[in-house]
């Protein structure tokens, strides 16, 4: 029994020694295997094996027992398996991994699923190396605070994104052409274009080539954004599931979008600033002035013995590019921002800067629309004039030119509205510039109507349609005003549109006066007939309201006014068919003024030159005059109400 007590601990100790020797032999084998595999690190499947081997080594040294209080670093230092060589091997592997992760798009293509698996294993291997440096090899490498794996991976991703963007910028057209060849089915969607630009100005400003006096063309930016979108989609769909292993530190989709937007916004802001300066120069100068300036610059360069290449660069600026291309680019940038940037936490509650980059270029496009809209107006009015100012449909009383003019203006407004400018101050500038275009176009239309109205005022149908057209300008302007959200407009824009309404109102009044002036001769003639009938009326003998014939004074007044009644019914029955109700009310107002003036001059207070007439008392008494004026007022009120309500000749 005593011998058993002596031998049992010896047996346990011997078994522990044997087990330790086996483990050490296994670890030595793993060391050799690990060292051999590092030479083939880039081969498919190798990163996964390396990760497993290093994880086992880490577990061996990091595992603590009650009988062994040594740290992992101390146990590793006590081992005799070429630790210096192993640490150097890990350092080289660590550097290689960082280099590969810094260009993960090319080393691990998204088109090869097996390489994406290797990418995940490479990140796992980086984690194991970082753990080894932190726990096992700390005393050897003397690292006070080794970086975390997430921090290292983030630095690699940032380097890759930056290098990718630089590569895209330097090889836009080559990469874009290759992407088109690779995706022929998507060739129709590679260029962004807004259908709303068809109505926009098409004046050409500066060169279309990729480099225009040192500037990149809108085509360049369109293609760059297309390539950037493909990169972001790859990050989201293929690389994010692999690299988002540290969710608190890395969100690849957001990180990639934020970094690329920062680079793109810096370049785009600087590029568009140059474009704005050049575009303003071309917009504010005639082609002759521009050619003269270029000629002077070329002569100056010749005198300084410059190469001929500089001349080519200058002349390239004359290759034309449409200003609407800038609008298309603005829509493209807006789409990109809303799709990939606006949802990022950093940008959710902030106003983007891109509207200010395009502010000057959009204002130039709007300024060009002055001439475009003016030409559209002239063509529409001339075409309408040739057609005889026919109503645009059976349900309206205005002609096609009004519809055409506001179709053009509304298309321009729709472009501004669809920009959905998040910067309200910039949007206010757009609306104010658009209000200038509206003012110029509508006043030009009113001037054309005023100039032609004297020719057509004898043709009641055409004359009324011209007045209706001017009134319809006011109606449509009010709709535009409402669509622009009048309460949110700047004060100067509201004042301008209100003043425009007032000026159009004055034009309608002028046209109504000209239209009713032609009726004055007929009113004067029938007013004389009323006077003659009134002269035949006998004064009443008593204080009652009847004459000697037993007829009431009201009936006699109506009988006296019957010529005017018949005349007005013949006029207004025609006008009611072709006049807008608002216009008809203005015409009735002018007819009332003409009627009152003529009754006063010809009947109530005629110019009497014959003294015998005064002696015979042919002038009307004050009572009779008052009756006549009251009857005339009742007449026009009655006729007007009948016309407006559609009771004369069943006019609806």
Report d(CA 106, CA 116) in Å as an integer: 11
Whether residue 69 is found in the same domain as residue 196:
no
- Which residue, of 347, 374, 402, is where some domain finishes? 347
CATH number for the domain that contains residue 616:
1.20.58
468 CB-near residues (< 8 Å, 6+ apart): 397, 398, 578, 579, 580, 583
- SS3 label, residue 299: helix
Prediction pTM value: 0.77
Q: Tell me, what DSSP letter sits at residue 68?
A: B
Number of structural domains (the chain) is 4
User: Is the distance from CB of 594 to CB of 523 less than 8 angstroms?
Assistant: yes
Same structural domain, 464 and 484: yes
Residues 415, 494 share a domain: yes
pLDDT < 70: residue spans in the chain: 1-31, 33, 61-83, 135-146, 182-214, 285-321, 538-553, 606-652
Whether 373 is covered by a domain: the verdict is yes
Residue 509 in any domain: the answer is yes
CA distance 382 to 541: 66
Residue 17 lies in a domain: no
Residue with tokens 């309206």: 396
My answer on whether 138 and 39 are in the same domain is yes
| Domain identity same for 570 and 446 | no
What is residue 392's DSSP assignment?
S
Take residue 296 and report the two structure tokens written for it: 């002077």
**pLDDT given for residue 574 in this prediction:** 80
Please name the residue that has the structure tokens 């990140």.
123
Structure tokens at 402: 């009004």
Please give the Cα distance from 564 to 499 (Å, whole number).
39
- Segments in 171-237 forming alpha helices (H): 172-182, 218-234
Contact by Cβ (8 Å): 591, 636: yes
Tokens 């509207």, located at residue: 355
Q: Please report, for residues 238, 464, 564, 591, 596, the alpha-carbon distance to residue 567 in angstroms, rounded to integers and kept in the order given.
A: 86, 18, 5, 12, 15
Domain boundary among 112, 146, 180: 146
CA-closest candidate to residue 252, choices 266, 223, 231: 231
18 within some domain: no
Whether 319 and 396 map to the same domain: the answer is no
3-state SS string over 321-368? CECHHHHHHHHHHHHHHHHHHCCCHHHCCCCCCHHHHHHHHHHHHHHH
3-state secondary structure labels for all residues of 87-135 = HHHHHHHHHHHHHHHCCHHHHCCCCCHHHHHHHHHHHHHHHHHHHHHHH
pLDDT of residue 418: 93
**CATH classification of the domain holding 366:** 1.10.357.50
Q: Which of 161, 177, 176 is nearest to 105 (CA)?
A: 161
Count CB-CB contacts under 10 A for residue 419. Answer: 20
- What is the C-alpha to C-alpha distance for residues 432 and 158, in angstroms, rounded to an integer? 43
CA atoms of 396 and 390, how far apart (whole Å): 10
Q: Token match 């293929």: residue?
A: 238
Give the pLDDT of residue 423: 92
Specify the pLDDT at position 75: 57
What is the per-residue pLDDT for 52?
84
Encoded tokens for 434? 């658009």
Please give the residue range of the domain that contains residue 592: 520-539+550-650
Count of beta carbons in the 10 Å neighbourhood of residue 528: 15
**Last-in-domain residue among 81, 115, 146:** 146
Same domain, residue pair 171 and 126: no
Q: Is 413 found in the same domain as 335?
A: no
Q: Based on the fold, state whether residues 470 and 568 are members of the same structural domain.
A: no
Residues 107 and 88 reside in one and the same domain: yes
Q: If phi over 0 gives left and psi between -120 and 50 gives alpha, with beta otherwise, what is residue 193?
A: beta
Residue 177 to residues 162, 174, 256: CA-CA distances in angstroms?
22, 5, 24
Q: CA angle, corner 579, sides to 576 and 581, nearest 5?
A: 85
Residues in the chain: 652
Based on the fold, state whether residues 249 and 314 are members of the same structural domain: yes
Residues forming a β-bridge with 216: 211
Q: Which two tokens stand for residue 330?
A: 């603005």
Asked whether 446 and 507 are in contact (CB, 8 A), the reply is yes
Asked, for residue 562, whether it belongs to a domain, the answer is yes
Residue 515 burial class via C-beta count within 10 angstroms: exposed 0-12, middle 13-18, buried 19 and up: buried
At 258 the pLDDT is 95
Angle (CA) 580 581 587, round 5° = 90
Rg, C-alpha atoms of the chain: 45
C-alpha torsion sign, points 430, 432, 433, 438: positive
Measured CA to CA in angstroms, residue 102 lies from 147, 159, 532, 645 at distances of 16, 5, 108, 82
Instruction: Provide φ and ψ at 550, rounded to 5°.
Output: 80, 15
What pLDDT sits at residue 617? Answer: 42
Task: Please indicate, yes or no, whether residues 190 and 138 belong to a single structural domain of this protein.
Answer: no
Local structure of residue 487 (DSSP, 8 states): G
């Amino acid at each position: 029994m005593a011998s058993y007590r002596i031998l049992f601990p010896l047996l346990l100790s011997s078994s522990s020694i044997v087990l330790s020797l086996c483990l050490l032999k296994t670890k030595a084998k793993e060391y050799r295997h690990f060292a051999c595999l590092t030479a083939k690190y880039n081969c498919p499947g190798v990163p996964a094996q390396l990760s497993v081997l290093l994880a086992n080594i880490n577990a061996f040294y990091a595992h603590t027992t009650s009988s062994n209080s040594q740290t992992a670093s101390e146990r590793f230092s006590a081992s005799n398996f070429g630790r210096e060589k192993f640490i150097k091997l890990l350092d080289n592997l660590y550097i290689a991994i960082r280099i590969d992760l810094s260009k993960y798009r090319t080393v691990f293509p998204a088109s090869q699923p097996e390489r994406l698996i290797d990418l995940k294993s490479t990140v796992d291997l980086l984690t194991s190396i970082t753990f080894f440096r932190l726990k096992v090899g700390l005393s050897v490498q003397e690292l006070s605070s080794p970086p975390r794996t997430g921090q290292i991976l983030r630095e690699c991703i940032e380097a890759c994104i930056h290098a990718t963007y630089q590569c895209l910028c330097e090889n836009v057209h080559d990469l874009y052409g290759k992407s088109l060849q690779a995706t022929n089915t998507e060739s129709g969607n590679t260029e962004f274009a807004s259908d709303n630009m068809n109505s926009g100005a098409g004046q050409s400003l500066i060169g279309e080539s990729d480099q225009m006096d040192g500037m990149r063309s809108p085509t360049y930016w369109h293609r760059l954004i297309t390539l950037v979108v493909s990169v972001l989609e790859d990050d989201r769909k293929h690389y994010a599931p692999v690299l988002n292993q540290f969710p608190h530190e890395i969100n690849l989709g957001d990180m990639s979008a934020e970094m690329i937007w920062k680079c793109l916004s810096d370049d785009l802001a600087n590029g568009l600033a140059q474009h704005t300066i050049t575009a303003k120069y071309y917009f504010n100068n005639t082609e002759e002035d521009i050619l003269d300036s270029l000629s002077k610059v070329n002569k100056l360069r010749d005198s300084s013995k410059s190469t001929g290449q500089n001349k080519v660069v200058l002349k390239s600026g004359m290759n034309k590019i449409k200003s609407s291309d800038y609008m298309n680019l603005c829509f493209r940038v807006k789409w990109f921002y809303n799709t990939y940037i606006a949802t990022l936490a950093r940008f959710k509650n902030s106003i983007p800067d891109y509207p200010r980059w395009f502010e000057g270029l959009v204002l130039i496009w709007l300024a060009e629309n002055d001439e475009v809209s003016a030409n559209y107006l002239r063509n529409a009015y001339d075409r309408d004039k040739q057609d005889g100012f026919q109503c645009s449909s059976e349900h309206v009383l205005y002609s096609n030119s009004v519809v055409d003019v506001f179709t053009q203006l509304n298309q321009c407004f729709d472009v501004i509205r669809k920009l959905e400018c998040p910067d309200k101050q910039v949007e206010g500038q757009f609306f104010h510039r658009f209000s200038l275009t509206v003012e110029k176009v509508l006043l030009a239309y009113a001037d054309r109507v005023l100039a032609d109205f004297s020719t057509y005022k004898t043709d009641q149908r055409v004359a009324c349609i011209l007045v209706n057209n001017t009134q319809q300008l006011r109606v449509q302007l009010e709709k535009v005003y409402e669509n622009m959200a009048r309460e949110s407009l700047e004060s100067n824009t509201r004042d301008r549109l209100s003043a425009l309404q007032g000026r159009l109102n004055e034009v309608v009044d002028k046209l109504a006066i000209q239209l009713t002036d032609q009726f004055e001769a007929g009113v004067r003639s029938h007013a004389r007939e009323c006077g003659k009938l009134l002269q035949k009326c006998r004064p009443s003998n008593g204080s009652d309201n009847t004459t000697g014939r037993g007829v009431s004074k009201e009936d006699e007044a109506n009988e006296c006014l019957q010529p005017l009644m018949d005349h007005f019914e013949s006029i207004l029955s025609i006008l009611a068919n072709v006049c807008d109700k608002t216009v008809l009310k203005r015409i009735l107002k002018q007819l009332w003024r003409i009627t009152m003036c003529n009754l006063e001059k010809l009947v109530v207070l005629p110019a009497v030159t014959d003294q015998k007439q005064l002696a015979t008392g042919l002038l009307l008494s004050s009572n009779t005059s008052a009756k006549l004026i009251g009857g005339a007022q009742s007449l026009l009120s009655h006729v007007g109400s009948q016309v407006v309500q559609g009771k004369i000749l069943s006019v609806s």
